[in-house]
Amino acid sequence: MAKHLIQILLLGTRAVGKAFVSALRQEYIASQAAAAARQGGGHRNCNANEGTSKRHGISVEEARQILNMGPEESSPDDVQKRFEQLFKINDTKKGGSFYIQSKVYRAKERLDEHLRIEKQG
């Protein structure tokens, strides 16, 4: 019985370890792509309102997906409200994820930038 429990524990630990390593690789690749885009060497050369922001590394559409917002929810108050809700839910002190908090923060920044540019033009 104990032997089977140890085997199950080892298999579970191995699976979690592989998932963690995979997530780290993906984040490393994404951060390298964002750094290249910020330096102007990226493969994307998009309008700040439509495509990937060189500063934030994500598009407006991706930011809306992260904050779970539709195009009709485009006021600064809507963005702020959704940001606060998701940031609070993912608080690391409550067992949340710092990575998700970071994504939520960057999404808010990107939508704030988009709304600012839209308001000027």
What CATH number is associated with residue 119?
1.10.287.110
Six-digit token pair at 38? 């910020």
Are both 65 and 9 inside the same structural domain? Answer: no
Are both 48 and 37 inside the same structural domain? Answer: no
Are both 36 and 61 inside the same structural domain? Answer: no
Cα 22–chain centre separation: 16
pLDDT at residue 24 above 90?
no
Single pTM value for the model? 0.56
Of 92 and 44, which is predicted with more confidence?
92
Are both 52 and 100 inside the same structural domain? Answer: yes
User: pLDDT value at position 9?
Assistant: 85
Query: Could you identify the residue written with the tokens 């429990």?
Result: 5
Q: What is the mean pLDDT of residues 34-48?
A: 54
pLDDT at residue 81 above 90?
yes
Q: What is the mean pLDDT of residues 97-120?
A: 92
Alpha helices, DSSP H only, in the chain? Answer: 2-38, 60-66, 76-89, 98-120
**Residue 14 belongs to what domain range?**
1-43
Q: What is the mean pLDDT of residues 48-72?
A: 77
Which pairs with CB-CB distance under 8 Å and at least 24 residues apart come from 92-95? none
pLDDT bin (cut points 50, 70, 90) of residue 54 is low
**Best-predicted range by mean pLDDT among 12-21, 41-50, 54-63, 65-74?**
65-74
If one counts the domains in the chain, the total is 2
Q: Give the C-alpha separation, 34 to 30, whole Å.
A: 6
Cα 87–chain centre separation: 12
Q: What is the mean pLDDT of residues 102-121?
A: 90
User: pLDDT value at position 46?
Assistant: 43
Are both 26 and 64 inside the same structural domain? Answer: no
8-state DSSP, 70: -
Are both 50 and 73 inside the same structural domain? Answer: yes
Are both 33 and 49 inside the same structural domain? Answer: no
User: pLDDT value at position 53?
Assistant: 54
Burial of 56 (0-12, 13-18, 19+ CB in 10 A): buried
Residue type, position 10, single letter: L
User: pLDDT value at position 98?
Assistant: 92
